[in-house]
Amino acid sequence: KAGVTQTPRYLIKTRGQQVTLSCSPISGHRSVSWYQQTPGQGLQFLFEYFSETQRNKGNFPGRFSGRQFSNSRSEMNVSTLELGDSALYLCASSLWGAGTEAFFGQGTRLTVV
């Protein structure tokens, strides 16, 4: 069974631009969560989508947003990029929800210059 697929794997953007990241979860999984990983802050929860609805949100500014489609694929958008947004963004797929057993994609490495 196919795993979690994140695209693209690498991105370089300029400050002020916006970016969209994509995640395809494991077939049958309705929950998709997004995490930001940085050397200084570690892994931090961004938000969770379940059946096209945002269920939970972490402590990130409104520049970070997301959505989920009817096929459970999810996108995450970051507007007005800042240098501090440089990070590895990880998508997690789970059957029952964000606090349960989760399967992660390989991540998208975003570099803001």
Partner 1 sequence: AQSVTQLDSHVSVSEGTPVLLRCNYSSSYSPSLFWYVQHPNKGLQLLLKYTSAATLVKGINGFEAEFKKSETSFHLTKPSAHMSDAAEYFCVVSDGEYGNKLVFGAGTILRVKS
Looking at residues 69 to 108 of the shown chain, list those that interact with partner 1 (rule: CB under 8 A). Answer: 90, 92, 96-107
Give residues with Cβ within 8 angstroms of 43, minimum separation 6: 35, 36, 37, 90
Between the alpha carbon of residue 89 and those of residues 15, 70, 76, the distances in Å are 17, 22, 9
* Cβ at position 43, least distance to partner 1 in Å: 4
Q: Which CB sits closer to partner 1, 79 or 106?
A: 106
Tell me the per-residue interface mask from 4 to 43 with partner 1, x by CB under 8 A, - otherwise. Answer: x-x--------------------------x-x------xx
Q: Which CB sits closer to partner 1, 45 or 86?
A: 45
Q: Which CB sits closer to partner 1, 3 or 16?
A: 3
Pick from 85, 98, 82: which is nearest to 32 by CA? 98
Q: How many angstroms separate the CA atoms of 45 and 48, rounded?
A: 8
* Cβ at position 113, least distance to partner 1 in Å: 19
Binding site for partner 1 (CB under 8 A): 4, 6, 33, 35, 42-45, 48, 55-56, 58, 90, 92, 96-107, 109
